[in-house]
Every structure is written in structure tokens, then in C-alpha cells.
Structure 1
């Protein structure tokens, strides 16, 4: 037999429902959930990282409902292995290292979603008064390189393109922080360097890199590699494609703003690392924008994308240099679906 329900019981039930509802997230709140992303850089903080912090300070990540934690790195190739290990979901690193890992471990390597360095910043440097005036003059000479340096590994490709007998060039391993000094003191005839780093190292030593140093940029001698860009894990693409698109949009706005207002970008960087040399890092930023980011190809196609034909040729060059057992497809390495529309990817430098 049913018991009558008292007015007090109804009142208590309504109160309980109201209290429980107060702790239940509403549907709009669930839709606005923030996605955390751990992001690793390629190296210690420099001017070439300023746009990430400018994007953070201007709320571009927050606008995309992202909580991005940015950590310093210890090498552009190491970014790839850190993402593969699951320590990070995204990072800034070398697309060529992605290609090599995708060759060996299909499906496990990160995917590049936003190309930043349109030209790989590999170069050989000699003193301006050196007798080495052409690439062929390196025959019979000694070049310093860090152990396993990518510039040294890619040299035979450039040599073949330039009619240089690579077997006649000698190599010696040097500490990365001594590359410029050993060349300047004539312990080696030249050094194989990462241009955006070496350029500012020379500036810090009181030299004018444009007058005191002769440069042989690989990109000017037939090497068609791209360089560093934003990469993400395959799992992030699978689970949260909207977050990947938001990450790319936010970073692109940071790059755009850094090109338009480099002082604001460096100010954002200095907030994170006040011991940096502000003037030197601004010069590094401007040099990088001018020499390897805002190229004629970028002017034509928009920032962040690649030329499919050139990209395919770069795969073949990497296969030759690193003896890849398998050449991955472009789709395994680069996914342009997350790029903003081409009209929004035009970037003008101040």
C-alpha cells in the first residue's frame, strides 16, 4: 500500500536535487573544457622562441581553450624522440628527424602540422680572408662538426650537387660551443653550423658575421630540406583534432605578431628569461625571419605550408644522406589540414 508523501519530504527532496545540481557541470561548461598540452622547444630560450610567449601573453592559447605548458629543449631532433616517448604531446623540432623516425617506425613518429623554417639552417663558415672561396675549395681541407651533426651528414648531398669530391674533405669532431672559436683560431679550416645559432654566437664575440665570415648556406647549393616546425603526436591528432587546429592558429598569430612587432615579442621572451641579452636576441629573431622563414616560397604559398614537389625531393636527399631503408609518404610526415586559410597566412615583416 502506498504511503502518503508529506510536504516536508517533498521539500527535502527538492532541496537535495538543487544542491546536487549546483555541483554538476552544465552542458556549456563541458563544451568549454580546456585541453592541456605539454610543448617542448628545440633548445634553450632564444629570440627564435619569442612568438610562443607572445602568443601566450596575448591570450591566443586561452582563446583556443588550450593550457599550453612550454618547456626548454636540448636539440631539435630530441623533440621528436620526446614526443614519441609520450613525455610531450607537441613541440618545435626538425622535420628531417621526423622523416628519419617515420622511416624506421611507421605510425610512431610525430606529424608536422606547421612549418616554421622554410629553409634548413645548415651552413659552412670560414673566415672572410680564408682561401676557401668556393665549395670546391673545401677539398683537402678540414671542417669541424659536432658529433653526428646534421650539416656534416648532409654535406655529401650538397657536394654532389656542386661537383665537389666529398671524399677529399676531412672532418673532425668539435664541441658545439667551440665551433666558431676553433675556426677563428685556424684549428679547423671551416665549421659546419646551424646558421641561426652560429650567426649570433659570432655577434656575441664582437664580430660582424656579414663582413668577417664567409657563408656557404646549404639551401643555396641544392639542398632542398625544410627545417624546424610545430609537430604533434599522432594520438593528439586522433583524440583532439580541434585542439591541434587551435594550437596551430594560436602559434601562427604569435609568429605574425612577432614579425610585425619584434620588440613586443622579445619583451615577452625576456619576462621568462631576464638574463638574456635583449638586443642580441632581437637581432637573432630578425635574422631568422629574414633568412629562413619569410622566403619567396612563403610569400607565394603562405606561411606554415610546404611545396609538395620540393618536399618529395627532400625525402630523396635524406635517403641518400642517411641511407634510409624506407622513404615515408609525405602524409606520414606533414598534415596541412590544420593550417589556417592561405589568405590568413600572409606574413609581413616590420
Structure 2
């Protein structure tokens, strides 16, 4: 080989090596993908998986820069994702089902179910004569504006042989829901088991005087809070969506394994949080909504199509569908790891 040919070959080799190093360096310095994420309400212990994903660097390790904002309930969270002002949001999946039935709505889908069982509940005072769901006949039920649990009340009443018309509904504001029950102005209230059920004990009502009647214990098939994603963002950044879900699953595992530390980190993000109250709330959420027998069997995040169909039947008792949805219309499992990667440790 002539010296000229040798020099040319050497320059080619050096160029290839330099190119490889430069590409590797570019990967290492690639900026994180920005994600706008909406919670449906201010942070409390139910948001522990997301708080831990942020504070423990789980989002960062997935190459994500997550900015969390607070929506005014699930309808607002869905609207933000539909408009593209949020990329991902945590919302009630049953509200998403109703939203998707409207003509012309964008094809938003859930990609991860955090609450395997919906937190819908009726919270009552035993001293007011309500210990079981059937005791509600002839009683007054306080219902707040925009309450999601009351929408499945007709199906729950029918399924349990209760005359729904015999239960008087009193419209009240969310601000006075717990005070009115505490004062005995209503016999029971609708709400979420981990919110009103825990908040009332914090108001000094003895735990043995509270009856938390969880819909799931009386045959309600509904799933609860789920992560939804903007369709354009999902198409453009499928790897980022998958990374976000991996981080949330890891945060969920940490909350289950270390509830005390998780409560501490949640309270550090709240303006006026009580560590004991949020720890009680987190334990209730894990026990009643996240770590169910279905999740222990199938892993985090998924949906059972047969159960989903039954939940749609129950929704239909208070909602007239223009087109009854199938599971694939509402839920996309393509961003989830295989079942083994979603198992509870």
C-alpha cells in the first residue's frame, strides 16, 4: 500500500470513529422531552405515584422533564388533553367514556389505569341509621355539583334491590359536604372513599360512627382514575409515553412498599398537609383502589375487556350512548410493558 493510500484509509477510519463518538456524545446531551401533565385535583396522597416519580428521579431517568399542573376535575383534564395544552392527564375513565360518545371528539384514549376500582362511595353516619346500602331508603343523601359517583347510583340501587326514588337527594356544595354530614343535616353523602371517608374522621367524627359504603363492594364494575394521552403527542412521542408509564409504575411500586416515606414526600408538596391524614389516605387508596385481586393477578395498568363491558352496561343506566364503546375505543394497551413488566413486586 502506498503512503497516500494508507493516509486516505486512516482518515476514513478516524472519520468513522469521530462520527461514532460525536453521535454518542449527542445522545448523552440530548435535552429531555418536555411533558405537560395534569392532575385532576390538588396534590394529596392519591398522587403519590407521580410525586415519587418526580422526587426520586424516575421521570428524569426516562429522559423526561415533567411539568405538573392542576385541572379543575376530570372534565377539565380531558379538555386540556383534547386541546393539546396538556400531553397527559389523570382523569376518571368513566368520564372519558361519556366524553368520547359526543360527536366530533378527538380520539383520546386511556393508556394506563391507576385505580383498578373506582373510589365511588356513599359515606354515612351509623348514628343516623345507615350501616348498609339498603338502609338508605327513606334517608337524605347529600350530592355535590359535578359529583361523579352519583351517576352510577341508579345502576347500584337497581343491582341491590333499592328503591332509588325513596332516597331523597339534597344538592349541596362541595365546601359543606363534610360539615353537613358531621352536623347531621344529611344522613349520608356521595363522594370518594379516600377523600370524604378520610376527611370526616379528621373532623372528629369517631371512626366507628362512619359507614363507608364503597360501590365496588356492592357490585360496581367501574374502573377509576386512568392516564389519558393527547393523540398527536402519542403518535409523535410513543417512546416518551412508554417512559412516562414506566416511571409511574415504578412510583406506584415505591408507594406500596414505602407508604410512610411516600406520605412524607406528598406532604412536602402540599401547602397545609397532615402527615397522619395523608398516610391514612394513601393506605386506603392502595388497599381499596390500586392493589386489588385483579392487579395482583394481572399486574398494574391494564383492563379486563369482559369487566369493561359490564361497567359500560352500568354506565348506560344513567347515560344514553349514541354508540356503545368497545374496550379498544377507550383503552390502548400498546404503551404498556408486557404483563411480566407490570407485576407487583
Over 3 Å counting, the alpha-carbon distance change for 1:175 and 1:274 in structure 2 is closer
2:119 to 118, 121, 132: 121
User: Contact (CA 8 Å) 1:144, 1:188: kept in 2 or not?
Assistant: yes
1:35 to 11, 33, 36: 33
Residue aligning to 1:273: 270
Matched, 1:263 2:260: yes
User: Contact (CA 8 Å) 2:128, 2:184: kept in 1 or not?
Assistant: no
The alignment partner of 2:249 has SS state of: helix
Counterpart-to-counterpart distance in 2, 1:57 and 1:302: 24
The alignment partner of 2:124 has SS state of: strand
Runs of 4 or more consecutive aligned structure 1 residues displaced over 3 Å after TM superposition: 25-28, 30-33
The alignment partner of 2:220 has SS state of: coil
Number of aligned residue pairs: give it.
Answer: 324
1:161 to 144, 159, 177: 159
Cα shift readout 1:212-264 (whole Å, capped 9, x = no counterpart): 21122111112110000211111121111111111100111111111111233
Quote how far apart the aligned CAs of 1:26 are: 4.7
Counterpart-to-counterpart distance in 1, 2:212 and 2:240: 40
Matched, 1:231 2:228: yes
Quote how far apart the aligned CAs of 1:161 are: 0.4
Residue aligning to 1:306: 303
After the TM superposition, which residues 45-194 of structure 1 pair with which residues of structure 2 at under 5 Å, given as runs?
A: 45-105=43-103, 108-194=106-192
Residue aligning to 2:294: 297
Residue aligning to 1:4: none
The alignment partner of 2:42 has SS state of: coil
Unaligned runs of 5+ in 1: 1-20
Matched, 1:218 2:232: no
Counterpart-to-counterpart distance in 1, 2:269 and 2:129: 43
Query: Which shifted more, 222-231 or 313-322?
Result: 313-322
2:321 to 299, 319, 324: 324
Residue aligning to 1:245: 242
Counterpart-to-counterpart distance in 2, 1:332 and 1:106: 14
Query: Which shifted more, 43-52 or 337-346?
Result: 337-346
The alignment partner of 1:206 has SS state of: coil
The alignment partner of 1:202 has SS state of: helix
Quote how far apart the aligned CAs of 1:30 are: 5.9
Counterpart-to-counterpart distance in 2, 1:253 and 1:80: 24
Quote how far apart the aligned CAs of 1:27 are: 7.2
Quote how far apart the aligned CAs of 1:93 are: 1.1
Residue aligning to 1:206: 204
Over 3 Å counting, the alpha-carbon distance change for 1:109 and 1:139 in structure 2 is farther
The alignment partner of 1:104 has SS state of: coil
